[in-house]
Amino acid sequence: MAAPSSSAASAMLAINEKKPSAPLDLYRPLRNYITMHYSEREAQNLEDDLETVKTLRSSLERSSSESLDVRRDLLQTYFKTLTLMESRFPISPEKDHVNTLTFTWFDAFKPKHKAAQQNIHLEKAAVLFNLGAVHSQIGVSADRASASGLKVACNAFMAAAGAFAMMKEGVASKASVGQSSCTVDLSVECAGMLERLMLAQAQECFFEKVVSEGRAPGVCSKVARQVGLYYEETYAALSSAPLTQHFDRGWTSHVQLKAALYYAEACYRCSLELHEKEEIAEEIARLKCGITALADGKKSAKGVAPQILDAVNRLESNLNANLERAVKENDRVYLMRVPAASSLSSLPTYSLVKPTPLNEVLDASKEKLFATLVPDSSAKSLSKYTEMVDDIIRTQAEKLQQASELTRVRLKEMDLPDSILALEGHSSLPMDLKEDVEAVQISGGPSGFEAELQQLRDLRRVNQELLVQTEELLEKESREDSQFRTQFGTRWTRPQSSTLTKNLQDRLNRFAGNLKQAADSDARIERAVKDQLSLMAILDRRPFSILPFLTFHPFEMLYAVYAFMKEIQKSGGLPLFLGEQIESALPTLARPMMSLDGNEDAIVGALKQSLRQLETLGAQRAGLEDMLKEMKRKDDILPKLMTYNGSYDDLFRKEIAKYDSISEEISQNIEAQEQLLMQIQAQNDEFAAVFNLEDYKASREKSYKQIAAAISKFREIKDNINEGLKFYVTLQDAITNVKQQCSDFVMTRNIQCREMIEDVQRKVAGLNFQDHKSGGGGSYSSSYSSVGQQTHPNQRTTTPPPPEPQNLPHPSHSHPPYYQPAQPPMASGYAHSRSPYVMPQQPVPPYQAPHSNNPYPPPQPQQQPPASHEYGQPAYPGWRGPYYNAHSQQPGSHPPPPYGFPGPYPPPQSGYYKQQ
């Protein structure tokens, strides 16, 4: 019945852009500021950014020859660049600021007016105004005859409204520091008016849409009424200061007529709905109101676009036709009283539009321009925010850790899940005891004692053999010396071997005594190993390893171990790689022999289920802690901080709020755990009562003590064996040293023996020659003469020389001599030969470990005695035998018992080798 509204062809308003007064160079002032406040190197690094700013400003100054979409993108990019510049470059007349830049812009509606300011707020306001203007031009240029064009126009008008709303809320107020310094088009009032105008045109697009789709008259009426309201608000702003007289009269007429048109349109659509309801009286009243509104609007229609006038005339014709028809129907049929216009209720509205927020589109936090320039104020603000985040992270992490620690302690107090594992026959050792058992096995275990005892036997045998070999050297030399002494009688004036080797013999005797005591200690060790082997045998079993489960969460690991044990039980035994386990020797928790109600399985099942839930909560806490760390890692608000124009405290409150949800999850997790622990406590009390847990714990503790006693005994025997091994090694070095001294002594005595034999033979030969001469060639009565007899130098002996001693030892090392030659020189002659062992040296025990105070002092330079054939002297000049000038042993000193050696091997306080 009603014809479609012709408002689809109605004209809409587009806004022209503001124009800058002249080209502006941003490059040089900004670069100078960077050089002055940062460095020349920083300015060089930012050359590309400075060139970008220069290019953007130059493109903005050119005439609008580009397409509207390109122009829109340019304005958005330049606005984000200005936002970055605002936080890094203070532009003002002050000395330390960028004070050579002046931004100048003309008024968009009064081009003769212009504003110039030395701050970036005017530039940002002008760019944001132009962005809204370009969006309005995109909306007006769209083809609203098609559904897609209608959508483009509607979105463009809402985007324009968003630009003017953003301008009104912040930028315009900063730019309008005074009426004399800013044009009217950038005022807060103008921005508000333009926002309403753009919303009116966007709602008008929706009205065109619902009409074209044939929606119900009531819906169309509500949409149309909201269009009229937006235009009415726009007209009110245009009629108020400072916008009065600032806009062209055609603007005011356009807005005023559009307000009347859409009010009348709402009345028309509402009357159609009333007619369908047969509410003829109100229908007539609404039609009259619409006609009156159009008549008033047409009075100020001077300068309005013809399309709008055509739409008004068509709507007015439809209103009059419907009014005439309704009046006839009321007069003939309904006979209702028509209400007065003042008594009618307001028409309902339905707004379908709102300003499109441009915060995301104009967000400069992700831009990379001037990223390296961070002012001190921003750095300090960032530090404050970081402290706030750190405090939240620290607080929540402590809550999580305390919850996990509480769970661990409570489970340990309840002996869980060990008691459940014990019920399945899989007891476990405490961690400290398990580590001790593993340490015992790493060191060889009780099964390795036999090899170590054999090593003790072998070392003892080697020492005994060395001792016998050394004693045989001295005995052989002593026998040879006795033979020559018997052969030559008084002519054999060399000191007896027994007087020279007393010190060595004493040391060898002491070594023999040490070996005997050591053998007794070895026997005691072997008896201890034999006696305690049954106690220590358990240590050869390997403890169950949880290394395959260490990648699990702590609670999850316990149940992974439990599941692993169950699989072992099903398979009929332990895997081969584990061997016999020490846990198998531990007592297990047995089921009660008699059950009254048979609910043991239910009790165990409920407890296991609760523990699994506790495990799930623990895994959630681990995930929450990781989320906290990840949130902190990604929480970088510096870009937002550098582009935010409001209060930093407001920004901080907004940003810190993102941690509220995870903090709430943590609180819920901890609360759920507390409830679950109480439930587990009650279930565990019931479990302990049914399965007689106290007796099992007592039996288990007894087993632990037995294992600890075995470990203690193993360590005691191991220490004594190690002590014995050290003793034998040290004693072997000492005996080897003495053996070398004996070899040197024997070699020296053999050399002296040969020289003395030759000398005695010469003397005997000389005496024989003298006797022959005086006796007229009589025979010699003896082969050897006394020491005081005269000898003939050419005398020869007829007695063959005795055979030399066989198997003379040879020196085998180059160690310094242990004893020094006599200090004062001695006179020649056999009758007064001195004893080189007047002060024999106190021997160092064979197990004396080497240290800084060497028991054998290094040789001291001595004065060489005159050459002679005294056989208590060195065999050749410069020779230093190790058995001369020795110090005598201190009276009353005795060698310490075996293994009681000082130095790095202190005498043990207990064991089989302790000092007697």
- For 640-697, the pLDDT digits (tens) are 666 666 677 787 788 888 889 999 999 999 999 999 999 999 888 888 877 777 777 7
Q: How far apart are CA 319 and CA 313, in angstroms?
A: 10
Angle between helix axes 120-141 and 147-166 (nearest 10 degrees) is 160
Q: Are 557 and 549 in contact (CB under 8 A)?
A: yes
Long-range contacts, stretch 609-616, CB < 8 angstroms, 24+ apart: 610/676, 610/679, 610/680, 610/683, 611/416, 611/417, 611/420, 611/555, 611/558, 611/559, 611/680, 612/559, 613/676, 614/407, 614/555, 614/673, 614/676, 614/677, 614/680, 615/553, 615/555, 615/556, 615/558, 615/559
- For 528-554, the pLDDT digits (tens) are 999 988 888 888 776 755 444 333 444
Among the listed residues 373, 367, 356, the one whose alpha carbon sits nearest the alpha carbon of residue 83 = 367
Q: How far apart are CA 612 and CA 453, in angstroms?
A: 51
Kindly state the tokens that stand for 829: 């002659």
Q: Kindly tell me if the per-residue pLDDT of 460 is higher than 90.
A: yes
Q: Which of these ranges, 499-503, 582-586, 629-633, has the smallest mean pLDDT?
A: 582-586
- For 225-267, the pLDDT digits (tens) are 999 999 999 999 999 988 988 998 889 999 999 999 999 999 9
Task: Tell me the pLDDT of the chain averaged across its residues.
Answer: 77
The pLDDT value recorded for residue 586 is 76
**Residue 444 exposed, middle or buried by CB count within 10 Å (0-12, 13-18, 19+):** middle
Q: How far apart are CA 902 and CA 916, in angstroms?
A: 15
- Residue by residue, DSSP assigns 518-548 as HHHHHHHHHHHHHHHHHHHGGGGSBPPP-GG
**Which is more confident, 60 or 904?**
60
Q: How far apart are CA 36 and CA 99, in angstroms?
A: 13
Q: Kindly tell me if the per-residue pLDDT of 173 is higher than 90.
A: no
Q: How far apart are CA 212 and CA 9, in angstroms?
A: 12
Please name the residues in contact with 650: beta carbons below 8 A apart, sequence gap of 6 or more: none
Name the pLDDT band for 849 (thresholds 50, 70, 90). Answer: very low
Q: How far apart are CA 85 and CA 52, in angstroms?
A: 12
Q: Are 289 and 341 in contact (CB under 8 A)?
A: yes
Q: Kindly tell me if the per-residue pLDDT of 741 is higher than 90.
A: yes
Kindly state the tokens that stand for 866: 């005159």
The stretches of 775-871 forming alpha helices (DSSP H) are none
Among the listed residues 915, 833, 827, the one whose alpha carbon sits nearest the alpha carbon of residue 872 = 833
Name the pLDDT band for 811 (thresholds 50, 70, 90). Answer: very low
Using a pLDDT cut of 70, give the percent of the chain over it.
73
Q: Kindly tell me if the per-residue pLDDT of 820 is higher than 50.
A: no
**Which is more confident, 599 or 114?**
114
The pLDDT value recorded for residue 166 is 92
Q: Are 112 and 246 in contact (CB under 8 A)?
A: no
Angle between helix axes 68-88 and 47-61 (nearest 10 degrees) is 130
- For 557-569, the pLDDT digits (tens) are 444 545 545 544 4
Q: How far apart are CA 102 and CA 99, in angstroms?
A: 8
Could you give the angle at the alpha carbon of 827 between the alpha carbons of 825 and 830, nearest 5°?
Answer: 125
